[in-house]
Amino acid sequence: MRQDYKKLFSHLKVEEPPAHLFINILKQVEKNQRTYARNRFIFNTVALMVSVVALIPAVYFLISEMTQSGFYRYLMLIFSDSGIVANYWQNFGFLLLESLPVLSLTMVLAAFFGLFYFFRRILANSKFYLIKI
Amino acid sequence: MRTDEELAKLSLKDDKAFAELVSRYLKRIYNFVYRYVQNRNDAEDIAQGVFIKAWKNIKKFNPDRKFKVWLFVIAKNTAFDWLRKSRSASGGKKTLTFSQFETDEGENPLIENLEDTASLPPEIFAKKELEKELEIALKNLNPIDRAILTLHYSDELTFEEISEILGKPMNTVKSRHQRAILKLRTYLMHQK
């Protein structure tokens, strides 16, 4: 049966797609690629700028919190009174941890990683952007 | 020569790989869509839409699946969306039934009286305007039945692949295929 119907369907007229259709599809793909590349470039650049802008106050905040919590002074003890620090290293460790400005440190690290990540993305895609945009 | 699945994977980075896929499937997708919409301009727009959708979703393509089936699923969905829109635009009046022989209840007395469905009588192949008649007979089938027949006999897809494309159980596809064949055969045999 299959052969019969296969033969029957071989009589079915096969429509030729218009000659320009192939080119139109590729042009449309190219157009979409350009739009995506532009949007990605804008997004990465804006995100990089936001990271840079956020990093500055985050660093100031970290310095201020390190001073206020006494972390900086405790840290300096390692160099000024290393003998005492060595004797009471467990207590000293807890003290350091307690005074660690976690919030501001997280903010600085987040901004720094954001900066690094988006900068890397821009660099990695720079060739693609230059061709497509 | 690279397989479709390899080309699909390469398409993420290489424009030429996607262009190769378009050139491999353009004719088949265009014809598949044309059989649904019966209009060249619409078929052109839909076929273009199919490939753009494929390009946008190529990241989601699983290379363990067949690219051909994946692409035909997109084509079927795009064509069905178009049909739904065009039907609602025309107020749902457009009916695609085998009306010439069917009763209002959807029964077809000619089909019921047919005993042998195993092969096509030779007089069908002797017809002068077979191409035209086959075209009309297919037009009178509903879009899903038409798709089953063309995918199976023109595009040489298996019932399993067709069931995946249409999102219907394989047994449903097989029984619809059987009914569609009967309708087609009835039409061709009674057409002078």
- Structure confidence by residue, pLDDT tens digits, B10-64: 888 888 999 999 999 999 999 999 988 888 999 999 999 999 999 999 999 988 8
Residue numbers in A near B19 (CB within 8 A): 26
Q: How far apart are CA B103 and CA B106, in angstroms?
A: 5
Of the candidates B192, B182, B187, B151, the one whose C-alpha atom is nearest the C-alpha of residue B168 is: B151
Q: Which residue of B120, B135, B187, B191 to mutate against A (max A Cβ within 10 Å)?
A: B120
| CB within 8 Å: A12 and B34 | no
How many CA atoms within 13 Å lie on the side-chain side of A92? 16
| CB within 8 Å: A21 and B153 | no
Of the listed ranges A60-64, A79-83, B177-181, the one predicted with least confidence:
A79-83
Confidence at B100, pLDDT banded by 50, 70, 90: very low
- Structure confidence by residue, pLDDT tens digits, A1-46: 567 788 888 888 888 999 899 999 999 999 988 888 888 889 999 9
Q: Which residue of B13, B35, B51, B57 to mutate against A (max A Cβ within 10 Å)?
A: B51
Contact B46, B33 (CB under 8 A): yes
Compare all CA atoms of chain A with the CA of B137 and give the residue at the minimum distance: A12
What's the whole-number average pLDDT of chain B?
Answer: 82
Query: Where are the domains positioned within chain B?
Result: 4-89, 109-190
Identity of the residue in B30, B55, B181 whose CB atom sits nearest the CB atom of A5:
B181
Residue numbers in A near B124 (CB within 8 A): 8
Question: What's the pTM value of the predicted model, to 2 decimals?
Answer: 0.71
| Helix, strand, coil % in chain A, rounded to nearest 5 | 85, 0, 15
Compare all CA atoms of chain A with the CA of B11 and give the residue at the minimum distance: A29
- Structure confidence by residue, pLDDT tens digits, A81-126: 888 888 888 888 898 888 888 999 999 999 999 999 999 988 887 7
Q: Which residue of A2, A9, A20, A34 to mutate against B (max B Cβ within 10 Å)?
A: A9
| CB within 8 Å: B149 and A22 | no
Identity of the residue in B18, B47, B134 whose CB atom sits nearest the CB atom of A11:
B134
Write down the pLDDT at residue B75.
94
Contact with chain A for residue B65, Cβ under 8 A: no
- Positive or negative, the CA dihedral B159, B161, B163, B169 is positive
Contact B173, B166 (CB under 8 A): yes
Identity of the residue in A9, A15, A22 whose CB atom sits nearest the CB atom of B22:
A22
ipTM: 0.73
CATH number attached to the domain at B4-89: 1.10.1740.10
Question: How many angstroms from the chain centroid is the CA of residue B32?
Answer: 5
Its CATH architecture, for the domain B109-190, is Orthogonal Bundle (1.10)
Q: How far apart are CA B98 and CA B175, in angstroms?
A: 17
Longest Cα–Cα distance in chain B: 58
Write down the pLDDT at residue B46.
94
| CB within 8 Å: A25 and B52 | yes
Residue numbers in A near B181 (CB within 8 A): 5
